[in-house]
């Protein structure tokens, strides 16, 4: 019997700031709604230099303040992810372009902030080289968008 779970992969550059935060937010939302069993969720980076490392301490810190568990280890996205996941949810256009250049199906590649209620927000800025306030802003954007993403997937399934 085929796996009927909705499979969502969150993607940023190094998989230590934005995508593990989005994964954690999404996981808690689906757990709170009692629908976690219908999903398979993961995160990855387009670059592999942080593979095996924990999330950035600032992302873990802000996540912990908000009640999220960021205990996963970073991994690099690979070509098999194109088939394994229904949605490849990128934090910014650069990472989406990298996936498309590597052959990911365009219909599966989306930007997380496509689900943000304010269309003025197009990308989740990378907070890596900034201060703590960048991580606060990052989580604010991710929480707003993930809530709407879960709403859509719960109602209609993936639109890929």
Q: Are residues 59 and 91 in contact, defined by beta-carbon separation less than 8 angstroms?
A: no
Spatial distance between the Cα atoms of 67 and 51, rounded to a whole number of angstroms: 24
Clarify whether 126 is annotated catalytic.
yes
Q: Which listed residue (42, 56, 92, 126) is catalytic?
A: 126
Strand 87-90 with 6-12, pairing: parallel
By CB neighbour count within 10 A (0-12 exposed, 13-18 middle, 19+ buried), where does 2 fall? Answer: exposed
Catalytic residue among 17, 18, 75, 110: 18
Supply the Cα-derived Rg of the chain in whole angstroms. 14
Q: How far is CA 111 from CA 12, 103, 131, 153, in A?
A: 10, 17, 24, 15
Active site residue 12: yes
Q: Which two tokens stand for residue 116?
A: 């943000």
The token duo for 21 is 């935060």
Residue among 12, 17, 90, 146 flagged as catalytic: 12
Q: Determine whether 18 is an active site residue.
A: yes
Q: Residue 111 has which token pair?
A: 């930007």
Which residues are tagged catalytic? 12, 18, 126
């Amino acid at each position: 019997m085929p796996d009927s779970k909705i499979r969502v992969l969150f993607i940023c550059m190094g998989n230590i700031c934005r995508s593990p935060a989005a994964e954690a937010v999404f996981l808690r939302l689906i757990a709170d709604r009692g629908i976690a069993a219908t999903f398979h969720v993961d995160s990855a980076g387009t670059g592999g230099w942080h593979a095996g490392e924990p999330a950035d301490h600032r992302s873990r810190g802000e996540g912990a303040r908000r009640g999220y568990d960021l205990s996963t280890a970073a991994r690099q996205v690979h070509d098999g992810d194109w088939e394994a996941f229904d949605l490849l949810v990128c934090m910014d256009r650069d990472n989406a372009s990298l996936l498309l250049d590597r052959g990911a199906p365009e219909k599966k590649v989306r930007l997380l902030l496509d689900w943000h209620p304010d269309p003025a927000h197009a990308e989740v800025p990378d907070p890596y080289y900034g201060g703590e306030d960048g991580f606060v802003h990052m989580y604010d954007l991710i929480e707003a968008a993930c809530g709407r993403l879960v709403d859509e997937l719960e109602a209609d399934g993936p639109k890929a």
